[in-house]
Amino acid sequence: MAPNPSFKPVKSRQTVQDQVYQQIREALVSGAFEADQSFTISGLSEKFMTSHMPIREALRRLAAENALRISSTGTAVVPPLDSDELRKISETRLILEPACARIAFDRIDEARFEQLRQTSLAHEKTADTGDVGEMLNLNRAFHFGIYEATGNDVLCSQIENLWLRSGAYVRFLSDRMGDLLRTSYRTGFSSHHADMLDAKQSGDKAAFVQAMHDDIQATSTLLLDFLSETKS
């Protein structure tokens, strides 16, 4: 069950463009769109109940961020999946996100820790309910809950750009989640989050950073395996 984007009609005139952009961006990050999926400007205009202009502008911005490609006919396409690209996204994430975790570690106060703990518990539970969309949302909430503790919006927005580029990969993984949850993955998928919480509680910064690293690495390895299987 993949997350389903529910676009809201946009109203306030001044920020129509921003709202459309934000909603499509959000849908891309959350894995609502598949690789190679295409959409037309007129189709999106109907969904958002706006004119073509703000849609075209939003798609152009996303294309400039390499989150979409625009064909010569004006159709937007989600870029295809590519192992080499995924490796490079992961390499970049592995530089930024564990470093962010290191900066965040001492700044996670009790309230934030409690929030992270709740998020982690809810995330674990999605293995029972099979709600993959919710699983992805909670995973994201957990990670950004940590990154935001750095108080560094420059770092956070750079990480978000990488997640934007990972959306179609996330979607690809989520489509296989039903099968995965029948394997040993079911007990392991949230273990790195639990490790992070344990490390924070025992004041072990190195272990906290390592668990963040392992979490990103594990997802990347899993995806690369799937991608090579799909190809062969």
Partner 1 sequence: MNQVRGPQFRAIQSRSMIADQIREALRTGLRAGRFEAGHVFSIATLTAEYEVSRTPVRDALSRLVAEGVLEDDARGQVRVPQLDVGEYENLIRARCVIEGGAVARAAQVITDSQLAHIRTCAETHRAQYDIGAIGEMLEANAAFHFALYEVSANPFLIVTIGSLWTRAGPYTRLLSRLMKTRIAASGLDLYSPHHDEILTALERRDDAAAQSAIQADILAGHDLLSPHLPNLV
User: Which of 74, 178, 188, 203 lies at the binding interface for partner 1 (CB under 8 A)?
Assistant: 74
By CB under 8 A, the residues from 105 to 124 that bind partner 1 are none
Distance CA 169, CA 174 (A): 9
∠208-103-153 over CA atoms, to 5°? 125
Q: How many residues bind partner 1 (CB under 8 A)?
A: 32
Whole-angstrom Cα distance, residue 166 to residue 161? Answer: 9
Asked if residue 157 binds partner 1 (CB under 8 A), the reply is yes
15 binds partner 1 (CB under 8 A): no
Alpha-carbon dihedral sign for residues 191, 188, 217, 157: negative
Given candidates 35, 61, 122, 204, which one binds partner 1 under the rule CB under 8 A?
Answer: 61
Token duo for residue 229 = 């299987």
**Single residue of 45, 83, 118, 158 touching partner 1 by CB under 8 A:** 158
State how far the Cα of 130 lies from the Cα of 37, in Å rounded to an integer: 24
Out of 60, 112, 176, 213, point to the residue binding partner 1 (CB under 8 A). Answer: 60
For partner 1, which residue of 8, 11, 36, 42 counts as binding (CB under 8 A)?
42
In angstroms, the CA 19 to CA 200 distance is 37
Distance (Å, whole) CA 77 – CA 50: 20
Task: Count Cβ atoms within 10 A of the Cβ of residue 115 and give its class: 0-12 exposed, 13-18 middle, 19 or more buried.
Answer: middle
Name the residue type at position 80: P
Q: Does 140 bind partner 1 (CB under 8 A)?
A: no
**Residue selected from 8, 37, 80, 91 as contacting partner 1 according to rule CB under 8 A:** 91
Question: To the nearest whole angstrom, how small is the minimum distance from the Cβ of residue 14 to partner 1?
Answer: 12
Q: Which is nearest to 145 in space by CA: 173, 107, 179, 181? A: 107
Of 95, 106, 186, 187, the residue at the interface with partner 1 (CB under 8 A) is 95
d(CA 8, CA 120): 29
Q: Could you say whether residue 103 binds partner 1 (CB under 8 A)?
A: yes
Asked if 96 is part of the footprint of partner 1 (rule: CB under 8 A), the reply reads: yes
User: Which residues in the 174-213 window bind partner 1 by CB under 8 A?
Assistant: none
* Number of other residues whose CB lies within 10 A of the CB of residue 106: 11
> Least separation, in Å, of the C-beta of 231 and partner 1?
22
Q: Using CB under 8 A, pick the residue from 5, 26, 75, 160 that binds partner 1.
A: 75
Q: Which residues bind partner 1 (CB under 8 A)?
A: 18, 21, 40, 42, 56, 60-61, 64, 66, 70, 72-75, 88-89, 91-92, 95-96, 99-100, 103, 152-155, 157-158, 161-162, 165
